[in-house]
Amino acid sequence: MPNSPSDPPRRISVQRRGPMLVEGPVEVELEDGTTVSSDRFRVALCTCRRSRRYPWCDTSHRARTSAGGPGRPSPDSCAEGPDSS
């Protein structure tokens, strides 16, 4: 039986300026009630909502750069979570 008390807990890795990494397989319920699933051993969930494949991360958060130089993330890239725009 999945999710029984004897199952080990799922590991979720939170990154300050990146996606949320979840040990799979996973099923994600979206705001509108639809569900999407992945059978991969680890999935990256978008936390900045810039992904064209939302809720899956497509690394769109990396495209945002600061005036400090190329490749450096701006202070607002993915750091605030899904409600930031």
- Round the average pLDDT of the chain to a whole number and report it: 77
pLDDT bracket for residue 68 (50, 70, 90):
very low
CB neighbours of 13 closer than 8 A, spacing ≥ 6? 20, 21, 22
Is residue 81 a part of any domain in this protein? no
pLDDT higher than 80, residue 71: no
Lowest mean pLDDT among 9-13, 42-46, 71-75: 71-75
Q: Is residue 40 part of a domain?
A: yes
Determine, yes or no, domain membership for 51: yes
Name the residue range of residue 23's domain. 12-63
User: Residue 7 falls within a domain, yes or no?
Assistant: no
Q: How many domains does the chain have?
A: 1
pTM for the predicted model, two decimal places: 0.62
Q: Is residue 4 part of a domain?
A: no
